[in-house]
Amino acid sequence: MRKLMDRRALTLVTMLTALALVAGACGGDDEPAATTAAPTTTAAPTTTAAPTTTAAPTTTAAAPATTEAEMTETTEAAPMGPTELDVAMIMLGTKEEGWYATFIDSVHRVAEEMPHGLTITLEQIEEIPYADGERVIRDLAQTGDYEIIVGHSTYSDAVAAVKDDFPDILFAFSGSGNEPTGGNGYWIDVFIHEPAYLAGIIAGAMTQTNHVSGVAAFPFPNVNGPLNAFIDGARFVAQQMGKGEITFDVAYIESWFDPATAQEAAAAQIAAGSDMIYAERFGPFAAIEEADGVFGFGHFTDQLGLSPVVLTSAVARWDTAFKDLVDAWYAYTTEGVPYDAPMERIVYTSMVDGGSSLGEISDLVPAEVQDGVAQAEAAILGGLLRVELKTDPPE
Partner 1 sequence: MEDLFTSAVLVGIFWATLRIATPLLLAALGELVCESSGILNLSLEGTMTMGAFAGFYVANETGSILAGLVAAGVGGAFLSLIMALMTVTAKVNQVVAGLALNILGLGLAFFWYRSIYEAEGSIDIPTVETMQAPFEFFPIPWLTILAFVMVPVVWVFLYRTKYGLELRSVGHNPEACDMRGVGIISRQYVAVVFGGVMAGLAGSFLSLGSTGLFFPDIISGRGWIALAIVIFGNWRATWVLVGSLLFGFLEATQLALQASDVDLPYQLLLALPFVLTIVALVFNRSRSNVPLSLTIPYHRGER
Backbone phi, psi, residue 295, to 5°: -130, 160
Q: Which of 70, 86, 105, 194 binds partner 1 (CB under 8 A)?
A: 105
- Contact between 360 and partner 1 by CB under 8 A: the answer reads no
**Whole-number Å distance between alpha carbons of 3 and 56:** 77
Question: In this structure, are residues 306 and 238 in contact, taking their beta carbons and an 8 Å threshold?
Answer: no
Q: What is the DSSP letter of 351?
A: T
Position among 153, 174, 213, 224 found at the interface with partner 1 (CB under 8 A)? 213
Interface with partner 1 (CB under 8 A), residue from 255, 320, 357, 391 = 255
Q: How far is CA 98 from CA 143, 298, 321, in A?
A: 28, 10, 16
20 scored as a contact of partner 1 (CB under 8 A): yes
Q: What is the DSSP string of 28-87?
A: ---PPPEEE--S--------SS-TTT---S-HHHHHHHHHHHHHHT-S---S----EEEE
Choice from 177, 273, 293, 366 touching partner 1 (CB under 8 A): 273
Q: Is residue 108 within the footprint of partner 1 (CB under 8 A)?
A: yes
Q: Which stretch binds partner 1 (CB under 8 A): 77-85, 175-183, 190-198, 266-274?
A: 266-274
Q: Does 268 bind partner 1 (CB under 8 A)?
A: yes
| Residue 45: closest CA among 77, 84, 76, 79 | 84
Instruction: Identify the residue among 301, 334, 349, 350 touching partner 1 (CB under 8 A).
Output: 301
Q: Segment contacting partner 1 (CB under 8 A): 89-97, 197-205, 334-342, 374-382?
A: 89-97
> Taking the complex as a whole, how short is the minimal distance between the CB of residue 4 and partner 1, in angstroms?
12
DSSP code of 125?
E
Task: Output 6 or 165, the one with its CB closest to partner 1.
Answer: 6
Contact range with partner 1 by CB under 8 A, out of 44-52, 53-61, 65-73, 104-112: 104-112
**Cβ-count burial of 174 within 10 angstroms (0-12 exposed, 13-18 middle, 19+ buried)?**
buried
Candidate list 224, 269, 349, 350; residue touching partner 1; CB under 8 A? 269
**Is there a contact between 186 and 346 (Cβ–Cβ < 8 Å)?**
yes
In whole angstroms, what is the distance from residue 196 CA to residue 226 CA? 5
Query: What gap in Å lies between CA 169 and CA 281, rounded to an integer?
Result: 33
Q: Please select the residue that binds partner 1; options are 161, 306, 346, 365, rule is CB under 8 A.
A: 306
Question: Does 131 contact partner 1 by CB under 8 A?
Answer: no
In Å, how far are 97, 190, 211, 287, 301 from 358, measured between CA atoms? 18, 14, 22, 24, 10
CB 140 within 8 A of CB 149: yes
**Among 4, 39, 60, 244, which residue sits at the site for partner 1 (rule: CB under 8 A)?**
39
Beta-carbon contacts of residue 372 (< 8 Å; ≥ 6 apart): 201, 205, 237
**Of 64, 62, 394, whose CA–CA distance to 196 is shortest?**
394
Nearer residue to partner 1 within complex by CB, 318 or 332: 318
Q: How far is the CB of 192 from partner 1 (least distance, A)?
A: 13
Residue of 278, 282, 295, 297 interacting with partner 1 (CB under 8 A) = 282
Q: Using the rule CB under 8 A, is 129 a contact of partner 1?
A: no
Judged by beta carbon, residue 112 or residue 368, the one nearer partner 1 is 112
Instruction: Compute the least distance from the CB of residue 359 to partner 1, in Å.
Output: 10
Check residue 5 for interaction with partner 1 (CB under 8 A): yes
Contact residue for partner 1 among 43, 241, 271, 337 (CB under 8 A) = 271
Under the criterion CB under 8 A, does residue 102 sit at the interface with partner 1? Answer: yes
What is the CA 26 to chain-centroid distance, rounded? 22
Residues in contact with partner 1 by CB under 8 A are: 5-6, 9-10, 12-14, 16-18, 20-21, 23-25, 27-32, 34, 36, 39, 93-96, 98, 101-102, 104-105, 108, 126-127, 213, 247, 249-252, 254-261, 263-265, 267-274, 282-283, 286, 290, 301-302, 305-306
